[in-house]
Structure 1
């Protein structure tokens, strides 16, 4: 015992000395002796050079940028379902580039320290870093700085150039935007929320969420503050973040994406989920019993474990006027501004589309004469009795009903539509205005999926006044999209209409892609993306067509996704390249439906 006791005390003293040394480095570099520093002495034992350089860099980050603001951005990004380990690795790369060159210029000894730290990283972590894209980018940056110049593949060179641009950032906002851009390009190109959406997450929302799955600690310690401190401590490290996902990077791109989308929430969070959706999307207009009935009826098969949520939107039925409400107001103003800028073009499209449809409906109004087994006798057919089984010896006048139509307009409101949301709103407005002018009942709804809720947002009902079309400008985008479930729910309502002729028009980008929620002890929605999601959506479309609902897909995405749109809608889809040709493209399809009927 006496032999071991000094060893233990010596280790404690060494740890204490190391902590003080690293703290002093951070305080000296930053000039801020109030910073709360938690040195990683375990890393020091692995590599003194890496530990000391990380401390220096942490001080530099605090000196040149608002470290708390960057940490809070990371926390909100993780809350919005970003992969924590990959996001931290991205932040480490970006802060190294934004801070490192400034430190070199100010303190000559730091360059030598950095080189020794880089060499230790290459010696100890080469295999781990070479196993995934961000790791390979980090290796390229280390080699480039050690060798002066380094040539890799064209892809690596392009990535290096984009990271080098961070040397010029002057503000914290620019650094955050750089981290966000690199993550979205290299890690998750389909990340469902814009940077504005991420930053709009409120402190209340962060506090209510469970962070225990992001920490190797007891649940009672898994607070927002604890996670925030962990992110702050890790942000400037050269030590790559390790999670199970990073060891499985070679198992296939789609499988990785599915795993990365899974977030674990405990039973307590599930009990709060409904109220969270209510606060961020507006109150539901359905009674609980009716909503439960629809969930039981619709959320089956591949959609088991999902929920439907019907709302008039946060602007029309807010619970509280939170940041999401303010963001929705801003987007609504932007959509209306786009309408005013293109007022002449939009209204010309409405007139052209309405005139095309009006002419077709006028033709339907004309009396038609058909052969029948009763009515006015046709003398030329009197030879048939006894000689032919055809008993249609008469002619009847049939009266057409030009307004025997009901139309549903369904808008994809997922995050991937963010850059096109004003265009989607304008297109929906034009269709709804043209149909309203002809007194054809039309309902307009959008859909997106948040956690396991598919949110169906109503802009106008079938028989509402034309003025309700203005609500379409409050169209906003968010999160993922479970297209098959949305089509199933909307189609079910359309089939209940009394009109003989029913049309469903879906404005989407052809990329069904749901963010998943993994709930311990509960039924979980199956992964919904890629081929599986395309087949499911196509199946729902074909089911409606078998029930005599005409379905048109209006493609508003990138041309690279056209093949998926074709698989979903078959030949009945319209590709809108420009708003100028919108009325003719959509009008031709609707004319065909009217004429066929």
Structure 2
């Protein structure tokens, strides 16, 4: 999309684009990048959705991303490289998509007509733009007049369509780059010699990039997280208020001018929905929970932009798009999920019924049984009384607290579905339950309520509004959640926390003050979250940590939750594991 605006600000059409991409890719956890959307025409936009789905289905983008980062560091021109990869990958996937879905041929024809009409209006001298259109003309059987370089590059890119493997495709892209663009290497990357290698050795062998751990650079992750924290929270809005924001990448500190941060705070309700607490209640809650590591933090409790009084139409459409995606994934396997709900409901119901049965056992004292009196003096078993044993463990209430930070994005739809299955099962059995999501915006911890304890069954549909962005301050979210849970009258209070075991949040510095303590990450965040879990347990709340993160973070999860945690490699087992835990609590 370059610098052009996505002109189809039509929610229905935008949703159609997303659904088309998902249908082709077969993966509802993917989203189209803004650069994959067309501003030329709706026909082209539809075709771009098809090719975006094909790229995700047939190309290993993890390898592509590593390759691009590796070559960019070695001095390659990123824009040229990305354009070559885009054209090369389209050449590889187009025929595969058409073979699988013949109807795509007509979509492609309409798109090509619009692209070519637009091209003839442009009179461009851009080499890669000319190559792009030369490839299209070749595909529709035309032999256009073009310069020798354009024709050779186009021919070499079209020849890549026989490459089945992503690595072989990238090898071909690199050969084309080195052959036609040897001078487009930045000075610090070194020149490329005739053999295609950097003279200063930075480029290395083609396959070197596969050995690099590109996405484990903590410095890059910090910068990315800080940027995401701002940009995703201000969906589609001007960021003029953030001109005076600076990031300290070493300690994950955002420094904001005092007058600017107050303007940002005023917009929290605009982006996340108004609070369901009045200002006085919010102040009381913050006075109770925002202390220690959270001394400078704030809390925002909301039902979200869709269900609270909000005039942010853009954000409403953004949430509705995620909601539609989650519902589509649910409907794709609706029969399976409904069977799971019924199975879990019956399992909980049977367990509760068994525990409510009153057992009468023989005893030396209690209620006299007349027909047992003959035993007196005649039998060694002289227990002529019975005593009633009440197995009822009391009433139950369950809170489900879900990490809604950006790190959960890969599991978004599956987490929403599993939370829905669990809440639906509990509600049908009659166990009061509440479902909350939490994430961070600046030093606000935003807690979104999907259903409340006494909400009707239909409120469980709200869980499909779940989407992921920003960071996560687990300790404060747990502390704030327990405030309401402790007020409940039920005998057994249970909190289930789904997170990736990596509490991770920024700090906000106002003005030029330098008296900031360590950022909320690593040892500091883990210790704080573990402390809040212990405090809640001491007050009688049973807490289960459900871990869906990487194995390398498993130790952090153990430190936080002790023995009461479940490691779930497959998020589809979330509801099953939680029910197993609930049954253990009920029976024990």
Larger helix share, 1 or 2: 1
C-alpha distance in structure 1 between counterparts of 2:458 and 2:449, whole Å: 14
User: Does residue 588 in structure 1 map to residue 569 in structure 2?
Assistant: no
C-alpha distance in structure 2 between counterparts of 1:446 and 1:155, whole Å: 46
Contact 1:357–1:591 (CA<8 Å) still a contact in 2? yes
Say which of 93, 96, 103 aligns to 2:77: 96
Q: CA deviation at 1:377?
A: 7.3
- Equivalent in the alignment of 1:492: 483
Contact 1:192–1:414 (CA<8 Å) still a contact in 2? no
User: Does residue 564 in structure 1 map to residue 556 in structure 2?
Assistant: yes
C-alpha distance in structure 2 between counterparts of 1:93 and 1:320, whole Å: 48
TM-superposition CA deviations, 1:428-451 (whole Å, max 9, x none):
111101100110000010100110
User: Does residue 540 in structure 1 map to residue 532 in structure 2?
Assistant: yes
SS of aligned partner of 2:498: strand
- Equivalent in the alignment of 1:42: none
- Equivalent in the alignment of 2:415: 424
Contact 2:229–2:471 (CA<8 Å) still a contact in 1? no
Contact 1:350–1:583 (CA<8 Å) still a contact in 2? no
* Residues 425, 98 of structure 1: alpha-carbon distance in 2 compared, 3 angstrom cutoff: same
* Residues 312, 525 of structure 1: alpha-carbon distance in 2 compared, 3 angstrom cutoff: farther
C-alpha distance in structure 2 between counterparts of 1:355 and 1:333, whole Å: 29
Contact 1:262–1:516 (CA<8 Å) still a contact in 2? yes
TM-superposition CA deviations, 1:161-209 (whole Å, max 9, x none):
899xxxxxxxxxxxxxxxxx98997853363489899489567431233
User: Does residue 208 in structure 1 map to residue 241 in structure 2?
Assistant: yes
- Equivalent in the alignment of 2:498: 507
SS of aligned partner of 1:464: coil
Q: CA deviation at 1:406?
A: 0.6
- Equivalent in the alignment of 2:458: 467
User: Does residue 142 in structure 1 map to residue 187 in structure 2?
Assistant: no
Say which of 397, 401, 405 aligns to 1:414: 405
- Equivalent in the alignment of 2:547: 555
The aligned runs of 1:318-337 (5 Å cut-off) are 318-337=309-328
User: Does residue 441 in structure 1 map to residue 432 in structure 2?
Assistant: yes
- Equivalent in the alignment of 2:174: none
The aligned runs of 1:342-353 (5 Å cut-off) are 342-353=333-344
SS of aligned partner of 2:519: coil
Contact 2:228–2:469 (CA<8 Å) still a contact in 1? no
C-alpha distance in structure 1 between counterparts of 2:451 and 2:220, whole Å: 34
* Residues 146, 155 of structure 1: alpha-carbon distance in 2 compared, 3 angstrom cutoff: closer
**Consecutive unaligned residues in structure 2, runs of 5 or more:** 1-37, 40-69, 85-125, 129-148, 151-179, 373-383
Contact 1:450–1:515 (CA<8 Å) still a contact in 2? no
Contact 1:299–1:307 (CA<8 Å) still a contact in 2? yes
Give the structure-1-normalised TM-score: 0.60
The aligned runs of 1:289-308 (5 Å cut-off) are 289-308=280-299
C-alpha distance in structure 2 between counterparts of 1:372 and 1:552, whole Å: 39
Q: CA deviation at 1:360?
A: 1.3
Q: How many residues align?
A: 415
More deviation in 552-561 or 355-364? Answer: 552-561
SS of aligned partner of 1:406: strand
- Equivalent in the alignment of 1:529: 521
SS of aligned partner of 1:188: helix
- Equivalent in the alignment of 1:86: none
Contact 1:370–1:398 (CA<8 Å) still a contact in 2? yes
SS of aligned partner of 1:449: strand
Q: CA deviation at 1:547?
A: 1.9
Give the structure-2-normalised TM-score: 0.61
Contact 2:233–2:441 (CA<8 Å) still a contact in 1? no
TM-superposition CA deviations, 1:88-143 (whole Å, max 9, x none):
x999988833349988979xxx999878x82xxxxxxxxxxxxxxxxxxxx5x325
SS of aligned partner of 1:456: strand
Q: CA deviation at 1:287?
A: 0.4
- Equivalent in the alignment of 1:453: 444
Contact 1:425–1:475 (CA<8 Å) still a contact in 2? yes
C-alpha distance in structure 2 between counterparts of 1:366 and 1:90, whole Å: 69
Say which of 256, 260, 270 aligns to 1:269: 260
C-alpha distance in structure 2 between counterparts of 1:558 and 1:295, whole Å: 32
User: Does residue 188 in structure 1 map to residue 220 in structure 2?
Assistant: yes
Contact 1:200–1:324 (CA<8 Å) still a contact in 2? no
User: Does residue 574 in structure 1 map to residue 570 in structure 2?
Assistant: no
C-alpha distance in structure 2 between counterparts of 1:406 and 1:323, whole Å: 36
Say which of 321, 332, 348 aligns to 1:341: 332
* Residues 468, 112 of structure 1: alpha-carbon distance in 2 compared, 3 angstrom cutoff: closer
C-alpha distance in structure 1 between counterparts of 2:500 and 2:578, whole Å: 16
* Residues 114, 573 of structure 1: alpha-carbon distance in 2 compared, 3 angstrom cutoff: closer
**How large is the Cα RMSD of the aligned pairs?**
4.3
